[in-house]
Structure 1
Amino acid sequence: MYVPPAFKEEDQAALHEAMRTARLASFVTATAEGLMATPLPLFLDPGEGAHGVLYGHLARANPQWTVPPVGEAMALFAGPDAYVTPSWYATKQESGKVVPTWNYVAVHTYGEAEFFDDPERLLDVVQRLTVLHEGARPDPWSVTDAPETFIKAQLRGIVGLRLPISRIEGKRKMSQNRNAADRGGVARGLAESDRASDREVAAMIPTQG
């Protein structure tokens, strides 16, 4: 990923939080048959390894896990994003030398993908993913709400993924390369948007300094 110095995010805690917030990742492998990618909900175990370990599962029928990857795999996380119109820049009125752009957060992780089908490990991954995404609900669903025989049958249809993160790249492009007046204009413009994601980006733009 191309990351200009102004947009580089190196704080690991911030990177991990961006990954958790994104919720859905794209799992990508390069193979002798070409690139393969699967959208996957993944959870991060930050206590394993230097950068943490990602866990998830694929459908057993998905060929991606059966084709040996060439080199490292990637898990790509996309955070909040928003279109930025030049009309919000103070510079537009001063010189007109402005163009549209996009603000966004992205985290790219790399590592050697491991696949497993041990029922106990698979159940642990499924339970942890369920707790992660059901935990905030007023009446959360639990894996144990379903019949045990049904869950065992479902587990036979998936394959676990473990991705120890060997390196991590983060980009937080939030108009840092613009002057304070331009940044303020972008923040105000996005804050007035009907899109929730635009308003989320507005709150992330540094308007001071």
Structure 2
Amino acid sequence: MHIPPGQAIDDEAQLYGFIRDNPLGVLTTALASSHELPLLQSTHIPWVLDPHDGTVLRGHMARANPHTKILIEAADKDQAEGRIGDEVMVLFTAPHNAYVTPKFYIKTKPETGKVVPTWNYSAVQVHGRAKVFTRAQEEETKQFLSKQLCDLTDELEQRHLRLTGKGDEAPWKVADAPQAYVNVLSRGIIGIEIAVTRIEGRHKMSQDKHEEDREGVSRGFENVGTETGQIIADLVRELGSNNPDLQ
């Protein structure tokens, strides 16, 4: 990840908190395959950070996904109990991101005109080693998928109830569905676990701009009148300038 000075998310707790707040991550791999499939593959997956070990991500994928076939082949090739030798990456992005028009730069635009558009966003990249759980009849796979589905459902149901202001309601649980139905669906997925070896994040929120221009960006987004606009305006003010040349 390209991270200019002053834009890194350095605190590990913040990095993992970012993942919990934005659990839909894009798994990306570059694994050779005999299936005549593209080398680069990516899949959107909602992830769980293992509550007992914050350095492990857990997810699941459809068995019918071509990406899954490549992962299974890579694991079988390495013959290491489902572990894949090559590194994988997961990209998490915050939902509040937006185009920044040069018109927002109230100092530099009128003074020099030397301004160009950009995009403000926040993202975290995770690199790690993956293990896949693919043998549907084996107890290890059954236990992994059962725990994964329950943990993911519980976490996202609680999140849904908080967001909708219905925190007093009982959340839906996997156990509410017929067990036979859950068993059938479970045979159509595989589990994936990633041991994190490196994590890095970036807030790109106009930190490289002069104070007057940053204030112009904040006001500009406030005037948009949307939730995303207000959140970005607040972040630009909160993060301020981390560029020593502008302080």
Q: What TM-score does the superposition give when structure 2 sets the normalisation length?
A: 0.78
Pairing of 1:42-57 with structure 2 (within 5 A): 42-45=47-50, 47-48=52-53, 52-57=55-60
Consecutive unaligned residues in structure 1, runs of 5 or more: none
Partner of residue 97, structure 2? 81
Partner of residue 69, structure 2? 66
1:174 maps onto 2:205 in alignment: yes
More helix by share: 2
**Shift in CA distance, 24/120, structure 1 to aligned 2, threshold 3 Å:** same
Which of residues 111, 135, 143 is equivalent to 2:128? Answer: 111
Consecutive unaligned residues in structure 2, runs of 5 or more: 34-38, 75-83, 135-140, 242-247
Pairing of 1:139-154 with structure 2 (within 5 A): 139=169, 140-154=171-185
Partner of residue 227, structure 2? 196
Fraction of identical pairs, as percent: 40
Contact 2:85–2:129 (8 Å) recurs in 1: no
Query: Which has the larger Rg?
Result: 2
**Shift in CA distance, 188/46, structure 1 to aligned 2, threshold 3 Å:** farther
Rounded to whole Å, the distance in 2 between the matches of 1:155 and 1:66 is 17
Rounded to whole Å, the distance in 2 between the matches of 1:46 and 1:129 is 11
Equivalent position SS for 2:122: strand
Per-residue deviation at 1:206?
2.9
1:130 maps onto 2:153 in alignment: yes
CA RMSD of aligned residues (A): 1.8
Deviation per residue, 1:144-201 (Å, 9 max, x gap): 1111111111111110110111001111111000011111111111122244323222
Rounded to whole Å, the distance in 2 between the matches of 1:100 and 1:46 is 41
**Aligned pairs, how many?**
207
Contact 1:29–1:70 (8 Å) recurs in 2: no
Q: What TM-score does the superposition give when structure 1 sets the normalisation length?
A: 0.92
